[in-house]
A and B are shown apart, each in its own frame.
Chain A
Amino acid sequence: MTTIARPRNLGSRLLGLQAALVYAFFYLPILVLVIFSFSDDRLVGRWGGFTLGWYEAFWNDQELTDSLWVSLQVAASSTVISVVLGTLAAFSLERFRFRGQRVFDALLYLPIIIPDVTMGIMMLIFFSEGIDLLDSVGIEASKGIGTVTLSHIAFNISFVSVVVRARLSGMDTNLEEAAMDLYATRWQTFWRVTFPQILPGIIGGALLAITLSLDDVVVTQFSAGPGATTLPVRVFSLIRKGVTPIINAVSVVMLVASLLLVVVSLIVGGLRSSSTPVANDD
């Protein structure tokens, strides 16, 4: 560790100040958002007295609650599927050698790199042509919640696999070999030895997937069909017609839900073995 010829106290104070500023930069806007969700004024940004009316309005707004339900459905199913597929992909890249591996690796990064709009248009064309193709063999398909879920799975697999791969590569393979030496089958080895060790990575990947799915606007707009409007897409379309603090109420609800999710996962993660990887003594 290089040392800089500076009084330690000032340095740590400045670092502390910088950290505080970063926190402020992130959280002050959120605080403002939360505060004005309780404001009894149609215009966002003016304080008109305390009220819970906007939350009530959100609860009573059929279209908003419908879109929230769609968002939750899509997030849940796309997360589950992409976690499974992403973990499998991570395993294949870390533990095996096969022809075309480098190509697969590069392709897996693609959804992370390409812009949302490009991905959206790609999915739009894909689904449209796909429906035509299925139609020609007599299968009826249409765009809707299914196509939205498929698009979300498409980009979520990449993110989950990156997170799980990082965890896998830092893992100690000695334990697995020891287990197999002791007559554990590959299946038992995976479930009893490997899986608990990579679980923090899987949970991290799952959290990332849920967040990305709940947040996504552009790709969803292009892949959705009738009746498949998700919450952020609905909120976006409302901006054109006029924003009221109901948007704040919606955001606060989603914020609280995400926080709960993070807290729960931390508790679950904390109940298991520590999250720092076992050091390799080579």
Chain B
Amino acid sequence: MSTKMLRLLAAILAFGLLSAACGGDDDESAVGADCEAGQTDGDLNLYNWAEYIDPELKTQFEEEFGVTVNEDNYDSNEQMQPIISQGNSGYDLIVPSDYMVSILIEGGDIAPINRSAVPNLSNLADEFASGLPFDPDGTYSVPYQWGTTGLGVDLSVVGEDVPQTWGLIFDADLAAEYGLEGAMTILNDPRETMGAALKYLGYSLNTTDQGQLDEAKAVVADATSRVAAYESDQYDELLVSGQTSVAHGYSGNFLVQFFEADDPEQFTYFVPEEGGTRWVDNMAVVADAPHPCTAHAFINFLLDAENGAALTNWNYYASPNAAAVPYIDQEVLDDPIVYPADQSKLEFIADTGDFEIEFSDAFNEARG
């Protein structure tokens, strides 16, 4: 080897050693551990779902604390997660869904919440302050908004007395009776759709029993022939524009669309009587957040009774904030779409660990 090659090789080795040495540079104390209530350390970099927070609320925070709020959006948990877990994303606060919180905790990508910096945590309703399957003690996440997954229907097609059951999409006879063949959409989501089938059969949507999952797979496979599309984004628009008569989807999305329809009374949403998914989106502080104190201040700000209510009044999802209830618009509180009357059969989607892949496989096979 010539001297030039040797020198090049030596340079590469040195570089490699240097980067290896830097790779394991971890701070012992968690980020945000020294923050005090209301303290800020720079602008807030928020990574959130689109249209999930009122721009007025952001402006209010900016004025109150003298910082700027930069918001960027992602359209799925799966898109947000690699960017955060890789590190150096630049974001302070993210809004992951329930099951994604467990994945982020396992990967060490989110920091524990410094409770002394968030005194408004006491405003949370009991069932959200602790006991959530993905974060039992609320160490890493703070609930943001919650909702349900169920069925939206066009009453002009199915009639006012339509049975509120998953059978509308899974039962061939019911579909024929109400003219739903080719006029329904189901969520393109393994856990949601397999979960709906499991609930229809009377099982838990977090089962790890292969037999039960196979039964659910058969149910979904049978529904595939009647489905117009497996759709996770436009289902509400397809319903309201008349192209479908029943749609499987998330509560808040339906509500927003129904308000915009020519005749809002024509449509309704319900969680079927067999039960369904309750999901909750949460706020979490990124492990290498550049401005953790501002992030904590923002969480505390949103947990304030009036601000929490403002959030719900704008995006029509349910609030986990018990103190906010007096400030939420009465029509939102009374709306069974936002706050379902019977919440006993609702389940959170929980991480089933190694069994997760079975859900995806079963769904892919059933979808065909």
Q: Which residues of A contact B (CB under 8 A)?
A: 42-46, 62-63, 121, 124-125, 127-129, 131-133, 135-136, 142-144, 221-222, 224-229, 233-234, 236-243
Tell me if B29 is interfacial: C-beta within 8 Å of chain A. Answer: no
Given A42-B260, A128-B86, A226-B91, A237:B18 Cβ within 8 A: no
Q: Which of chain B's residues 80-117 have a Cβ closer than 8 Å to chain A?
A: 82-83, 86-91
Residues of B within 8 A of A133 (CB): 18-19, 22
Kindly state whether residue B237 has any CB partner on chain A within 8 Å: yes
A218: min CB distance to chain B, Å = 9
Other contacts beyond A142-B290, A240-B75: 11, CB < 8 A: A44-B237, A132-B88, A135-B25, A136-B22, A136-B25, A222-B82, A225-B91, A226-B72, A226-B90, A229-B72, A240-B50
B237, A143: Cβ atoms under 8 Å? no
Tell me whether A239 and B233 are in contact (CB under 8 A). Answer: yes
CB distance from A46 to the nearest CB of B (A): 6
Task: Tell which of B87, B240, B257 touches A132, judged by Cβ atoms closer than 8 Å.
Answer: B87
A226 to B68 Cα, complex, angstroms: 12
Minimum distance in angstroms from B312 CB to a CB of chain A: 16
Cα A222 to Cα B233 in complex, Å, equals 21
Q: Across the interface, do A132 and B45 meet the contact criterion of CB distance under 8 Å?
A: no
Do B241 and A241 have beta carbons less than 8 Å apart?
no
Kindly provide the distance from the CB of A145 to the nearest chain B CB, expressed in whole angstroms: 11
Are B86's CB and A234's CB within 8 A?
no
Closest to B87 in A: A128
Bound-state CA distance A19–B76 (Å) is 40
Q: Give the residues in chain B near A237, CB-CB below 8 Å.
A: 49-50, 73-75
- Set A43, A121, A234: member contacting B82, Cβ < 8 A: A121
Q: Could you say which residues of chain A place their CB within 8 Å of the CB of B368?
A: none
Report which of A221, A227, A242 forms a contact with B70, defined as CB distance below 8 A.
Answer: A227
Flag if A135 contacts B22 (CB, 8 Å). yes
A231 to B79, CA, bound (A): 17
B256 interface contact, C-beta 8 A: yes
Residues of B within 8 A of A135 (CB): 22, 25
User: With a CB–CB cut-off of 8 A, which chain B residues contact A45?
Assistant: 241
Q: List 25 A-B contacts (CB under 8 A).
A: A43-B237, A124-B83, A129-B23, A131-B88, A132-B23, A133-B18, A135-B22, A221-B74, A221-B79, A221-B83, A222-B83, A224-B72, A225-B89, A227-B70, A227-B72, A234-B50, A238-B50, A240-B50, A240-B75, A240-B232, A242-B237, A242-B253, A242-B256, A242-B257, A243-B234
A243 to B52, CA, bound (A): 14
Q: Which residues of B contact A (CB under 8 A)?
A: 18-19, 21-23, 25, 45, 47, 49-52, 55, 70-76, 79, 82-83, 86-91, 232-234, 236-237, 240-241, 253, 256-257, 260, 290
**Are A124's CB and B86's CB within 8 A?**
yes
Closest chain B CB from A241 CB (angstroms): 4
Q: Which 8 A-B pairs have the closest CB atoms?
A: A226-B45, A237-B73, A225-B90, A136-B22, A131-B88, A237-B50, A241-B51, A240-B75
Pick the most buried of B73, B233, B236: most chain A CB atoms within 10 A of its CB: B73
- Tell me how far the C-beta of A281 lies from the nearest C-beta in chain B, rounded to whole angstroms: 43
Interface centre among A125, A233, A242 (most CB of B within 10 A): A242
B144 to nearest A CB, angstroms?
15
- B364 → chain A, closest Cβ, in Å? 18
> A242 to B25, alpha carbons, bound, how many Å?
42
Q: Is the CB of B49 within 8 A of A143?
A: no
| Given A221-B79, A242-B257, A132-B25 contact (CB < 8 Å) | yes
Residue of B nearest to A132 (CB): B22
A233 to chain B, nearest CB (A): 8
User: How far is it, in angstroms, between the C-alpha of A136 and the C-alpha of B21 when the chains are bound?
Assistant: 9
| Contacts A43-B237, A132-B22, A133-B22 given; does A238 touch B51 at CB 8 Å | yes
Residue of chain A at shortest CB distance from B80: A221
In the complex with contacts A227-B70, A240-B49, A129-B89 CB distance below 8 A: no
Q: A42-B260, A132-B25, A237-B74 are in contact. Are A142 and B90 (CB under 8 A)?
A: yes
Residues of A within 8 A of B25 (CB): 132, 135-136
Q: Which residue of B lies closest to A226 (CB)?
A: B45
The CA-CA distance from A124 to B79 in the complex, in Å, is 12
Q: Are B73 and A43 in contact, with the CB atoms below 8 A?
A: no
CB nearest to A222 among chain B residues: B83
Shortest B94–chain A CB gap in Å is: 12
With the chains together, A121 CA to B73 CA distance in Å? 18
* Chain B: minimal CB distance from A227 (Å): 5
Complex interface: chain A residues within 8 A of B290 (CB):
142
